[in-house]
Amino acid sequence: MQQIVRAVAMAFNNLPRPHRVMLGSLTVVTLAVAVWRPYVYHPSEMPPVVQNTVELDNDGQHILLPEASEPIDQPAPEPEDDTPADEIDKDVPGASDTHDYVVSTGDTLSSILNQYGIDMADLSQLVKIDKDLRNLRVGQQISWVLTEDGRLQRLSWELSRRETRTYDRVGNSFKLSSELQKGAWENQVLTGSVKGSFVSSARKTGLSSNEIGSIIKALQWQMDFRKLHAGDKFSVLMSREILNGKSEQSQLLGVRLRSGGKDYYAIRADDGKFYDRSGSGLARGFMRFPMVKQFRVSSNFNPRRLNPVTGRVAPHRGVDFAMPIGTPVLSVGDGEVIVAKRSGGAGNYVTIRHGRQYMTRYMHMKKLLVKPGQKVKRGDRVGLSGNTGRSTGPHLHYEVWVNNQAVNPLMVKLPRTEGLTGKERANYLAQVKVVIPQLKLNQSQ
């Protein structure tokens, strides 16, 4: 498999420049199509979207109209109050401060950063410094860190397993540094069984915190790691770059976890995502909107909104839909209710956790229809909309969080149902045949 990946990467690099430019322009054309039809994901039951409501307010100076929204200094509950950090969040670094993204088809740097509300001025600075950023490739990883006021602090781009480029903010621009790795890559199988927590058991087998984090992410849609039992077994195939006898960096190729007599698998495809043994996607799709009908957006997502009175940043972490009191509010995806209560600012609100990375919040409702701990399916009613808490008119305030960071609910790329098809699926199934026999469980433990 590595040979295939490397061969493809080399083939790209060896292309004459006009060809590379052409490939780059294809991405731009794809993006143009995506802009023209702004949503990549169309749940079949949803009507087509209204396009004029999705503009991201980039000037940061937007003054909120007092109608059907919240007062600008709304003290909404912090998500930390909603999700007490569990052992996994504590022990696996990068869960909250670094944001990771794997490039997929049609992505460009601007389409990726736009959904996180990152300033387009920063983006043009980045591209000025490094034009190669216009040519992201599927499967590459991008990660970034934001400042407290939501500006880009640092961006890292993993071009290949050998090269990582980092862009650090210096004033209004960025400084580029590049790192080349020259170790030898080898595959290693690590097996263990659960005693105590998964994180501590995985550490005992020699897995690093980052590696454990990638395992948890890969299996998040199948497995709640807090509910594993003592004696559950796991086997992990890592590709590691060994330099001076030490693992410099690594990539998870596949994982098998046996819990309650059942085997769960997640195996990496060439697009950098994880699929099950048959090539099906592991995440169930999300709906774009938490309601059946469409309603006007009365206030957009804006992480750098300024309070015109105090001059301080008062982020609007969600999107407001003006809607009549009593409108059913739906969970956008499968998940578990972690909060359903009344609070001062948010009124009656619900927080739902979907897998480990995604969380959605629904505020100002008149009536709650779910309880904490309850499992919900996509499309289930979580409450009836209202005007409770600090609200200046009947509306629903809706938030989407990815890796503990609020993102623009109208722009974010949400998990899709589709699995692999055609040639990608055939390649994947060939890989599965190689990977699965290596994922043996240790019977003696």
Binding mask 268-307 for Zn ion (x = CB under 5 A): ----------------------------------------
**CA pair distance 233, 72, nearest whole angstrom:** 50
> What is the SS3 assignment for 199?
helix
The strand pairing partners of 383, in sequence order, are: 329, 368
Which stretch of DSSP H or E encloses residue 33?
Answer: helix 17-36
**CA pair distance 346, 361, nearest whole angstrom:** 10
Compute the least distance from the CB of residue 389 to Zn ion, in Å.
Answer: 10
Beta-carbon count within 10 A of 36 CB: 8
User: Judged by CB under 5 A, which of 353, 354, 390, 397 binds Zn ion?
Assistant: 397
Does 399 contact Zn ion by CB under 5 A?
Answer: no
Q: Are 216 and 196 in contact (CB under 8 A)?
A: no
- Near Zn ion by CB under 5 A, which window of 134-142, 155-163, 215-223, 396-404? 396-404
CA distances from 103 to 165, 355, 364 (A): 15, 20, 35
By CB under 5 A, how many residues form the interface with Zn ion? 3
Q: State which residue has the least CB distance to Zn ion.
A: 397
- Near Zn ion by CB under 5 A, which window of 319-327, 399-407, 417-425, 435-443? 319-327
Label each residue of 254-284 as H, E or C. EEEEEECCEEEEEEECCCCCEECCCCCECCC
- Near Zn ion by CB under 5 A, which window of 69-77, 274-282, 372-380, 408-416? 69-77
**Closer Cβ to Zn ion, 354 or 397, answer by number:** 397
**Closer Cβ to Zn ion, 315 or 328, answer by number:** 315
Does 320 contact Zn ion by CB under 5 A?
Answer: yes
- Near Zn ion by CB under 5 A, which window of 66-74, 122-130, 138-146, 380-388? 66-74
Compute the least distance from the CB of residue 376 to Zn ion, in Å.
Answer: 22
Does 317 contact Zn ion by CB under 5 A?
Answer: no
Let me know the angle formed at the C-alpha of 78 by 73 and 83, rounded to the nearest 5 degrees.
165
**CA pair distance 368, 361, nearest whole angstrom:** 13
- Near Zn ion by CB under 5 A, which window of 157-165, 172-180, 278-286, 313-321? 313-321
User: Residue 87 is encoded by which pair of tokens?
Assistant: 């052992």
Compute the least distance from the CB of residue 64 to Zn ion, in Å.
Answer: 9
**CA pair distance 235, 247, nearest whole angstrom:** 18
Q: Report, in this order, helix, strand and coil percent for the chain, each rounded to 5.
A: 25, 30, 45
Let me know the angle formed at the C-alpha of 407 by 284 and 417, rounded to the nearest 5 degrees.
15
**Closer Cβ to Zn ion, 70 or 122, answer by number:** 70
Q: Which of residues 110-169 bind Zn ion (CB under 5 A)?
A: none
**Closer Cβ to Zn ion, 277 or 397, answer by number:** 397
Compute the least distance from the CB of residue 290 to Zn ion, in Å.
Answer: 13
- Near Zn ion by CB under 5 A, which window of 275-283, 315-323, 342-350, 421-429? 315-323
DSSP H helix total and E strand total for the chain: 9, 21
**Closer Cβ to Zn ion, 252 or 363, answer by number:** 363
**CA pair distance 83, 335, nearest whole angstrom:** 14
Compute the least distance from the CB of residue 364 to Zn ion, in Å.
Answer: 8
CA distances from 80 to 75, 338, 382 (A): 13, 12, 21
**Closer Cβ to Zn ion, 70 or 82, answer by number:** 70
**Closer Cβ to Zn ion, 240 or 316, answer by number:** 316
- Near Zn ion by CB under 5 A, which window of 57-65, 82-90, 197-205, 317-325? 317-325
**Closer Cβ to Zn ion, 99 or 397, answer by number:** 397
**Closer Cβ to Zn ion, 145 or 325, answer by number:** 325
User: CA torsion 390→363→412→289, rounded to 10°?
Assistant: -120
**Closer Cβ to Zn ion, 268 or 305, answer by number:** 305
Compute the least distance from the CB of residue 247 to Zn ion, in Å.
Answer: 45
Instruction: Please enumerate in sequence order all residues whose Cβ is within 8 A of that of 97, keeping only pairs 6 or more positions apart, or say none.
Output: 145
Query: Which residues are near Zn ion by CB under 5 A?
Result: 70, 320, 397
